[in-house]
Structures are given as structure tokens and as C-alpha cells.
A and B are shown apart, each in its own frame.
Chain A
Amino acid sequence: MKKLALTLTAVLMMGGAAMAAPVKVGIAAEPYPPFASPDASGKWVGWEVDMIGAVCKAAEMECEIVPVAWDGIIPALTAGQIDAIMASMSITEERMKTIDFSNKYYNTPTVIVGPKADAMTADAEGLKGKILGVQVSTIHEAYAQKHFKDAVAEIKVYQTQDEANQDLVAGRIDATQADSIALDDFLKSEAGAACCEVKGAVADDPDVLGLGVGVGLRKGDEELKAKFNAGIAKVLEDGTYEEISKPYFSSSIYGG
């Protein structure tokens, strides 16, 4: 699989801007739909693959996608086999000790989902007196305990998000809080589509919810970092980001 070295040139050469060797962008070799997964013919497709193409194009770089096993992806970067990681890697303090990160390019927002009939906003005021369901030991439970504990009537803790979703349909809870991607499938299901909708994203709290996903780079590779940051900023600005996201997600995943 690795030998096949599936390449995807995502760049249109601009004018006379001559390019050096292509930037090798590592993605995780393990499928992670809808972000990156091989299709039937072995070609890598997904939101993140599209985003790599768009960011590289915006930053006027020639990029080559290199699948690397997830557990060896940081060593591959530091050893120079790849030049950047775009594999849904969250920016964490632990990783920052070894590598550097660009600005985030997505941070799946944490959303509140509730019944269509019930008007509410995704803050303490809107959830006042309601029963909120969350999955146990997730950042969402931590967030709810920190921000909504005093406002809501009860925080109900579920073993799985599926059970919380089921109880939302059954009317046993008034709202649930989870990752927007996790709730996307539920809202696309028959029961979910009939009953509920996204009420909004909760206010960010990096202490609890983390810092989002950025491009992993070698420490000190400031030139590439600047390029990726510029590329990310550009796709966000010119609407490419929205365009790419639309087929995959029902709402923007850039996060607040």
C-alpha cells in the first residue's frame, strides 16, 4: 500500500513561479472518513484531502500526498520523510514539545441539538431548566459540568452518544451536547431529521475543548509554517473552505 505512493498533484503551476521539490504532506494511512479515506480505486478522497489541495493551491505550493501510518507520522516528519502533517491532528501541548503547528484549519464545533419545536440557544440562558444529555467522560461532559451545571435542571450522563440521541427522540432529554460530526449522522437519520436540529455551537473554551486541528510541521520550519498559515487564511477568506465543506458537512467545521 505504501509502496504505491499514491500521489495527487493538487496544484496548478502559477505563471513563472518555479517550484522546488514538492512539499510532502503526510496523511494517516488509516481511513478516517469523511476526512480522508481511499475510494474503491485506492485514490484518497475526503474533506481533508480536498483541503490539502486547496491550501497548497492558495499558498502556491506543489504538494504530494504521502500516506503514513498514524503511530509513526510524527517520527516521519522529524526524520524528513514528509514535510507536513495534515491528518486531523489536534494541537496539543504534548505534541508541541516535538513539533510545531500551523494555525488550526478545523475545530469541529461542539453543538447543542434539540427538538425542532423547542426554541433554545446554545448557552446557559437558553438551556435554563432543561435536561441536557451528554456522553460520559467526554470533553462535552466536562464542558457541561463547567458551564451549564447551574442553569440546567439535570445533566444526564449516557454511556454512548447513541443512547442520548435515542432519549432525545423519545423526549426524555431536552437537548444533547456533542461534537458536530458525531451528531451529523444522527441528524441525517430518519428519526433525527424528523425530531431535531442544531441549536448552535457552544462558546469556545480551549481549556476544556482543546485547540483544534492544525498542520503539523518540523520545529523551526518557519517558512513552510508561514506558507500554510497564509494558505489556510486564504481558503477561509475566498469561500473555498465553505465550498469544500458543503458536500461533507451540514455546517461549517472551522469552529469559533
Chain B
Amino acid sequence: MRAFWKPHRIVMALIALVIVVWSVLNLRWDWVPNYLGLAAQGIWRTIWLLAASIVLGMALAIPLGLAQAVGPRILAWPARTFCTVIRGTPLLLQLWLLYYGLGSLFPTIPWIRQSEFWPILRQAWPYGLLALTLSFAGYEGEVMRGAFKGVPKGQLEAARAMGMPRLTILRRIWLPQALHRALPTLGGETVLQLKATPLVATITVVDIYAVASRVRQDTFITYEPLLLLAVVYMAITGIIVLGFRWFEGRIPSRVA
């Protein structure tokens, strides 16, 4: 405990405390109880979208990175094109193209409209999740390409010399080492992905950002919801950063 409370930390904690006390005393917070339920839903939706898009995005990014790093041209070329297109266009544009483009195309096809998937397809969140997933896959595909290439050749040659099958090499040597290399970058990218999630508010998904806008539009109170929103995003960011730090600590670097 004493190690933690160094002078600069005490000063920072005091400043934070003063800001919090000032905010509580001088700003309007009477709207908070009315929106607690909506805010909880919003936070849940933000976290859920973030987690799902990262898991699905990584599942896509690994083959994308592998294809670009060592795949035959017929796989490498489409993978590179995908990553370039995704990274070369704004996420908002992709989101709107999916939601207003693809989403408006579906209802014109009768069998889709009558199918049992329609109740899901007519909602907004699948398009939000899809856009976030594709975006994450595009960026992380590029990161994984570098990570796969960065694993020392000697490691793979040694594994091959031991007579390991190719898939086993990938599973036991190549992928873990590549992931380990990419982990600090992935932590940062996850934080960026968190801050990309408010875009789904533009397609009627009520995430925590949409709740803050809602408070502003209903009550004409501007700063308080935004301040609280900043605190929420900072808290989630803090959890992500700590999580990744813990994760990095748990994977020992066995490579020299």
C-alpha cells in the first residue's frame, strides 16, 4: 500500500477528488435516477458489442493474417484486398452501407422477408455487430500478418526438423508466438474498438452513447451526461487495459 501512495499519486487523487466533489455539488444530476435502467442497458449493449466483435473479428483476423503472410496468391490477394478496403474506408461509411444498403435490399426479396430470420434481420444490432467485426478483422488481419512474419524462422525450422505436422506447428508454435507478439498491439486496438462502438448509435442501436444523447435531447442538459459518459468509457478502458496486462503476464515468453 505504501508503495502505491507516492507523492504524485496523492496529488492526482486529491485533484480528482476535488473535481468529483465540485461536479456533484455544482452540476445537475437529478435526471440520473430516471435514466438508470436505460443506462444499464446501454452499458451492457456497448460491452456486449465490443466483446462479440472482438472475438468474431479475431477469429477472422487469424486466417486473414496467415493468408497474407504465407498463403498462396489465390488466398493472399483477396485477404490483402479485404484488409485494404476495410482500413481505407471510414467505419461509419461501412456501417451505413451495411445498414441502409444491405438492410434495405433484404426486404425487397420476399423469401427473406418471410423467413424466420427476418425478425433478427430487421433489427439494427446485427448490422452494427457485422460492421464492427469486419472492421476489427481488417485491422487485426494486418497486425496478425506482421506477427506471423515476425516469428523467428528458426523456431519453425526446428519444429519441422522435429517432424511436427504443419497444423501442430501452427497450433503449438507459430500461433502462440505470433499472438504473444501481437498482444500489446491488440490491447490498444481493443481500446480503439471500444471507442468505435458509439457509431452504432447512428443506426438506432441504443448503446451507452445513445443514452447520453437521449438525456440531452429530453432534458436539454448537455455537459453532465457527457461527463458521465466519459467516466463510463474510461472505466471500461481501464478494465480492458488491466485485463490485457494480466493476460500478458500470464503468457511467459519462452522465446529468447
Contacts and interface: CB of A to CB of B under 8 A. Distances in A.
Contact of A158 (B106, B107, B118, B204): B204
* B interface, size bucket: 10 to 19
Interface string B91-127: 0000000001001101100000100001000111000
A139 B103 CA distance: 29
B103 A136 contact: no
B30 interface: no
B122 A171 contact: yes
B174 to A, nearest CB: 44
Contact of A171 (B100, B107, B214, B218): B107
Contacts of B214: 136, 157
Given A136-B217, A157-B214, A169 B104 contact: yes
Contacts of A9: none
Given A157-B204, A158-B204, A170 B103 contact: yes
Contacts of B107: 169-171
Given A136-B217, A172-B122, A166 B104 contact: yes
For the complex, would chain B's binding face be called helix, strand, loop or mixed by DSSP majority?
helix
A41 interface: no
Contacts of A157: 204, 214
Contacts of A137: 217-218
Contacts of B106: 170-171
A2 to B, nearest CB: 35
Nearest to B124: A172
Nearest to B220: A137
A172 B103 contact: yes
B204 A171 contact: no
A41 to B, nearest CB: 41
Contacts of B123: 172
B44 to A, nearest CB: 17
A167 interface: yes
Interface string B196-229: 0000001010000000001001100000000000
Interface string A188-221: 0000000000000000000000000000000000
Contacts of B103: 170, 172
A156 interface: yes
A171 B112 CA distance: 12
A167 B113 contact: no
Nearest to B204: A156
A237 B100 CA distance: 46
Contacts of B217: 136-137
A172 B204 CA distance: 11
B198 to A, nearest CB: 13
A171 B124 contact: no
B122 A166 contact: no
B207 to A, nearest CB: 13
A158 B122 CA distance: 15
Interface in A24-45: none
Top 6 A-B pairs, shortest CB-CB distance: A171-B107, A137-B217, A170-B104, A172-B122, A136-B217, A170-B107
11 contacts: A136-B217, A157-B204, A157-B214, A166-B104, A167-B204, A170-B104, A170-B106, A170-B107, A171-B113, A171-B118, A172-B103
Interface of A: 136-137, 156-159, 163, 166-167, 169-172
Given A159-B202, A166-B104, A171-B122, 9 more contacts: A157-B204, A163-B204, A166-B100, A167-B204, A169-B104, A170-B100, A170-B107, A172-B103, A172-B123
